[in-house]
Each structure stands twice: as structure tokens, then as C-alpha cells.
Amino acid sequence: MKSTFFALGALALSVAAQPIENAAGCPAVHVISARGSAEFPGEGIISSLVNNIVSGSKQTITREAVDYPAGLADYDNSQLKGVVDMKAKLAAKTSACPNTKIVLTGYSQGAQVAGDVLAHKAPGTANVVATILLGDPGHVSGESFQKGTANAVNGFHARASGVLEDFAPKINSFCDLGDPACAGGLNIINHIQYVTKYGTVATKFVLDRIGG
């Protein structure tokens, strides 16, 4: 099953990285995104979702991408480096800008990164108002914030049950049946279509959470 998940990396490589804006001053909202396994540095596939959030909001929004390997061969160490970097970015932004609202987004391995940052209740998580997880390997069945069609199965790297419930109103986690990463399946197509399939719903959730 894990080898099937590794095959997703080759598909992700076809997605070009998007330019990341530099934060200036203290924005109303700051988005921190973690790309999926084997995607090029930057936001990766999830960049189009962030673009929609930025263009759909009336507020000043800045954005940055987690700097980590997003590797498959040494997945656990790669994912841990992502958690460390996202925690650092979150702490730095909220320390410099304590009134800035934070949005976390992550796809695939990056979704596990973002979810684990919340699970660890890292410094700055009090500022997190919305989190979007797409194809999260840490997916746990039956949790209240789950969306999609795979609510009865776990991801291949599932978290302990209940560790994200304190943040449940702030999370939308999308996982579909057959996804190798979040649902233990063999359907790679289901893993790469989240932004296309659920992008509108995810964007609306974030815009509602940040106040438009």
C-alpha cells in the first residue's frame, strides 16, 4: 500500500511551483502551505486553492510555503522536517504579528504536516482560524471535521484518535474512498483530484472562517 502511495510522487512532479508572495508588515491573514510528496518546492498543487482564497477575500493576505524535502524514500524524516519548519513559520509570524489570522493548508504529506502542527498545539496555533487538509495520510476515521467519502477508514499514517478535536470547527479534511494516502486504497486519481473536486467548498470554508 505504501508503495502505491509512493507512486503518487511521479504524478505530482508535473505540477509547476507557483511564486510565493513575501509578507510585508502585518497582514490581516497569513496562509502557510505544505506541498505534497515529490512536488517541486513551493505550494505545489494546493497553490490554486490559495490563489482562490486570496482573490476571494476583501482582506490583506500574505502567503508562504513550508520548506521541507517532501520526500518519499525517507518519508518519516521528511514529514518531521515539514512539521518543524511549519511550526517555526507559524511561531515567527504570530510573534511578529499577534493579531494576524493564520490559515494552514496541506496536500498529501503536507496535510499530515499541517495536521500534526495542530495536534502538537504548537506556539501560534491560537491564531489559526482555518485549516484545509487534502488527502491526509494522518486521516482518522469518524472525526467530526472529515469531508469526502472515506469517513470509515484510516490513512496509512493515522494519528491517535481525537487529537485534533479541539480544532475541529477550524478544520476541513477531505478524503475520498480509494485514496492510497488517506484511505488505504489503490485509486491514485482520487488522491490528485481534491483541489479540482473540492476547491470551491474549501475556499468558501476558509473565507467564512477569516471573515470574507
Is residue 179 annotated as part of the catalytic site, yes or no?
A: yes
67 is catalytic: no
Q: Which residues of 110-147 are buried (b: 16+ CB within 10 A; e: fewer)?
A: bbbbbbbbbbeebebbebbbbbbbbbbbbbbeebeebb
| Helix, strand or coil, per DSSP, at residue 198 | helix
Q: CA 40, CA 17: separation in Å to the nearest integer?
A: 6
Among 30, 108, 136, 176, the one annotated catalytic: 108
Catalytic residue among 30, 139, 157, 191: 191
> What is the rounded distance in angstroms from the CA atom of residue 69 to the CA atom of residue 87?
15
Contact 145, 168 (CB under 8 A): yes
Does the annotation mark 157 as catalytic? no
In the sheet where 101-107 sits, what is the strand order?
Answer: 61-65, 29-34, 101-107, 128-134, 171-174, 146-147
**Separation between Cα atoms, residue 65 and residue 169, nearest integer Å:** 24
Where in the sequence numbering do the catalytic residues fall? 108, 179, 191
